[in-house]
Amino acid sequence: MPSEIAYQKSKSSLLDSIRSTYLYDRLKGRVPGFDWSERYAHWALRIPLAGLLMYYGVQKFPSAFVAPGDYGVPAILYVLAAFAEVFGATALIMGGIIETLRPKFSKFRLAGDALTRAGGAAGVAAVLGVILYFYWGALTIADLQVMALGLSAFLLMRGNKYGQTSAVHALASVQTRQSRR
């Protein structure tokens, strides 16, 4: 009966599968077995940075149009910083959603990359402005702002991952087949 038929991997095909996975990870320069985290690891950077940018951006909006000069910052810079922080946080989250759902949204990969880079650029502009205006030359240390600047710069320069994992995986499979001969 067809319902009683089950597929069982032979020992040799299981070893080929393990060998192929090992070669694939070795070619990528990774520890084998951590590919499951590849699609979700970028959220460890995006969520805290987007939360920080959104918090500071939303915090500026009540006074952005009423009394932006309270901090000694020109009004136009204060309003631009508020918009940059809110836009940057939103762009980082939207770019991350497109990156995570990459197989379903393959047509939007370029848009996701552009959103991530735009969010990083907005974060760099806003945070660098704060560091230069408030902390430059002072004895205080802007450790939170320096961390946010570094994360924003990383996402600006890296964007979304445009890896060629299928090509690397195909190369590992070919090498596995050649090693058996």
**CB 64, CB 82: distance < 8 Å:** yes
User: Picking from 2-11, 13-22, 84-93, which range would have the lowest pLDDT averaged per residue?
Assistant: 2-11
Residue predicted with more confidence, 154 or 161: 154
- For residue 40, give both structure tokens: 């979700």
pLDDT, tens digit, 9 for 90 and up, residues 32-54: 767 677 778 889 999 999 999 99
- Return all residues near 173 (Cβ < 8 A) that are at least 6 apart: 20, 24
pLDDT, tens digit, 9 for 90 and up, residues 57-88: 999 888 877 777 677 788 888 889 999 999 99
DSSP the chain: -GGG------HHHHHHHHHHHHHHHHHHT--TT-GGGTTTTTHHHHHHHHHHHHHHHHHHHHHHTT-GGGGS--HHHHHHHHHHHHHHHHHHHHHHHHHHTTTTTGGGHHHHHHHHHHHHHHHHHHHHHHIIIIITTSSS--HHHHHHHHHHHHHHHH-S----HHHHHHHHHHHHHHHH-
Mean confidence (pLDDT) of the chain: 80
Residue predicted with more confidence, 131 or 91: 91
pLDDT for 76 equals 86
Q: Is the pLDDT of residue 141 over 50?
A: yes
